[in-house]
Amino acid sequence: MIASQLVTSFRKEIWEFKKTLFWVPFIIAIFMILVPILQFLVIQDYQLSRLLENLTDGNNLVNVKGFTRFFLGLIMSMFFPFIIASLVIQLNYFTSCLFDERRDLSVYFWRSLPVSDALTVAVKLITGALVVPAIFMLAATSVVIVFLFVAFIFCCVLSLGYDISLWELWSNAEIFGNLAAIWLHLFPYALWMFPVFAWLMLASMFANKAPFLWAVLPIAAILLVESVVAQYWQLDGRFFLDTLREYFTFGETILPNHTSADESPKFLLFSVLSSKFSLVATLIGIGLLYLTYWLRVNKSDM
């Protein structure tokens, strides 16, 4: 019974946002595939000849170092547009997932079904935090597979037509390991952003109009008041601003603690995101999520 409720609830969430969750990653994937193809079609003959000379030069292949890191960076560059688009869709989803059902009064229909409010809130959280980025990452993985297939055909042509083999590079690329490492980042990322997602869900549940403004304006007001008070009293530090800056910035975390040459680059960002875990922030997120649940149970007609 619970399993069927979960499946139905997830299908409902995906169905309500199916156009966005399908067309946005699809358009990005098509764009990323077509642009290199168009660049290859307009490449000049001398540029193509120079490229083939570099690839068929044995010395260049022997001196290739750090190809695993290069390939990991290449994959991450393909994932980057999808991750940015996914973040935008996540913010939009969390600010509208509870607001829209109250605005169009569909909340009364969904609450008439044998699905608890706690399960509904949990499904919306999991959908926005994990399912949405997973869909975009799946599209990015599909783009990587397409490029790998093209690279495979290219290597076959070079092996037959130019008597040069690039198959050793494939063994150094660690394709599956790098892809698995990127997918592994999804969980610490969701945990790191959990307080933000919970806050957006609370704004979506509380607001009668413009939930995004209800999510942004209180934070902006707190920072403004703190700035005025700190300037008036000539205080050195600003608690809320410093706390937010420390929680959402990476520079100081990466540079001093994660610059070891022996550390695997594929797990560098994972270790950074894991180090961003804060028990206090998680407890705040749990409190915000419980308040969201309480409002849905008692104030669905807001």
Of the two residues 171 and 295, the one the predictor is more confident about is 295
* Choice among 24-33, 79-88, 160-169 with the minimum mean pLDDT: 160-169
Amino acid 210 reads A
Burial per residue of 185-197, b for 16 or more beta-carbon CB atoms within 10 angstroms, e otherwise: bbebbbbbbbbbb
| C-alpha span between 10 and 6 (Å, rounded) | 6
> Which tens digits make up the pLDDT trace of 200-235?
999 999 998 999 999 999 999 999 999 888 888 877
* Choice among 16-30, 35-49, 130-144 with the minimum mean pLDDT: 35-49
- State the average pLDDT for the chain: 82
> Which tens digits make up the pLDDT trace of 123-180?
999 999 999 999 999 999 999 999 999 888 877 877 776 666 666 677 777 788 889 8
Query: How distant, in Å, are the alpha carbons of 33, 89, 104, 127, 167 from that of 9?
Result: 34, 19, 18, 10, 46
Query: How distant, in Å, are the alpha carbons of 87, 139, 203, 299 from that of 251?
Result: 20, 29, 30, 42
Per-residue pLDDT at 79: 94
Joined tokens for residue 66? 């750090």
Joined tokens for residue 200? 């957006």
* Choice among 24-28, 224-228, 287-291 with the minimum mean pLDDT: 224-228
Give this prediction's pTM: 0.85
Q: Which residue in 184, 194, 178, 188 sits closest to 250, CA to CA?
A: 188
Other residues' Cβ atoms within 10 Å of the Cβ of residue 161 = 10
Long-range (24+ apart) CB contacts under 8 A made by 217-222 are none
